[in-house]
Amino acid sequence: MAKPKRKTKRAAKKPAKRKRVTRPMIQIERFRFDEEQRCRACSEAVKQGDACFIEIVSDWDGDGESQTWTFTHLACAIAKQRQEVREHLLATDREELRELAGEVQRLSPELFAEIAHAVPPDRKAMPLDDPFTLELLAQLDETPEDRALLAVLGDHLAQRGDDRGELIALQLAGNTGSRVAELCDILSFSSFSKPVWGIGFLRELNIILGGRPLATQAQRLANPSCRLLQHLIIWQNRRFELAQKDAPVDVTPGSLPRGLRVLDVIGGLPPLDLSWMPYLDTLVLDEGHELAHPTLRVLELRATDRATIEACARGMPGVERLKIERLQFGREPPADLGELLEHSGWLTRIRELELQGIPAGDPLRAAARARDIRLVETPLRTI
């Protein structure tokens, strides 16, 4: 009788690693970069001010996000990938579309006819520069939600023929209908994410620099709708695959709205005295080795370094709440964080300390209890 065949166990097949699919982000705008670039289609140089079809591919490694940017002259892109250009023109930033519309019409009248309905109308808002308006705005800097002051401002602007006056009146009356949406559209502009409106003015705005200087956004930040802006996020990031460490966001005195309450800089700041924003309450950033603000109350540091922690302790004596966050990608916080907070003087003044993705350790917990500091430990955020 034949022996039964011996069954052998097959090694379990390891699941194949899923490859991360990264779809390019598309931007259509004028070239405003320092680095020399050539058109992917015709290989000719891309000059300052040239209209470009830009493809941005992101990748992640242990140091964080890196990006590869590819530039194509708009004329070349229309010739080779017209449908894709059309789709992204219809989805592009309103201010950029307004600026590019004439060139699109020159390059391809047929394409312009297909997007003409999306080109925004001319702005109707008047400059906020008469003496009484400036006086009211100065008061609203201090109390931007004061409905009585806003009502007076709205009446005054309406008498001057400014659409913002009508918008303020409708919003104060609780109207959220189509006319409010239309007025917001007329008085606003698109950004990286949809702006958030308060009464008559933008309340929150998110802008992405993509390696460009902040000055390229000066026109938007000077828009009358930003006059009472309270929360601003500025996102700086790597420009090209082989780029060195990002330069700090080039904030200078007067370059941001004076009444800001919250400034969130995804990136670093240069040496800067921020006291020209007297109402600033919360600052969020990654790095800044020489910063100062006399009354800042909340400081949040992401993936930061020792020099930033020490510099902010010297320059921001009014901080009551400190948050330090470790990011999934990027550098780790200083290993001796507890000793650093002690020696830099933070533990003698703050009332609350939040560590996100960073274990406090028993010595720091004990030091916080001894000084009646509320210590909050939250888990690492993952993507």
Q: What is the pLDDT of residues 63-98, one digit of tens each?
A: 566 778 899 999 999 999 999 999 999 887 666 787
pLDDT at 121 over 90: no
Residues 6+ positions from 56 with CB-CB distance below 8 Å: 24, 25, 26, 27, 67, 68, 69, 70, 210
pLDDT at 146 over 80: yes
Quick check: 272 and 251 in contact, CB under 8 A?
Answer: yes
Identify which has the larger pLDDT, 13 or 73: 73
pLDDT at 381: 81
Q: What is the Cα–Cα distance from 80 to 378, expressed in whole angstroms?
A: 50
**Average pLDDT of span 311-338:** 89
pLDDT at 147 over 80: yes
**Average pLDDT of span 13-42:** 73
**Average pLDDT of span 339-363:** 95
Among 211-215, 295-299, 336-340, the range scoring the smallest mean pLDDT is 211-215
pLDDT band at 32 (very low <50, low <70, confident <90, very high): confident
**Average pLDDT of span 255-261:** 94
pLDDT at 246 over 70: no
Residue with tokens 């921020």: 274
Among 77-86, 90-99, 102-111, 366-375, the range scoring the smallest mean pLDDT is 90-99
Whether this model's pTM surpasses 0.85: no
Kind and range of the H or E element at 110? Answer: helix 109-115
Instruction: Indicate the burial class of 47 (C-beta count within 10 angstroms; 0-12, 13-18, 19 or more).
Output: exposed
pLDDT at 243 over 50: no
Q: Is 26 helix (H, G, I), strand (E, B) or coil?
A: strand
pLDDT at 143 over 90: yes
pLDDT at 267: 81
Quick check: 325 and 333 in contact, CB under 8 A?
Answer: no
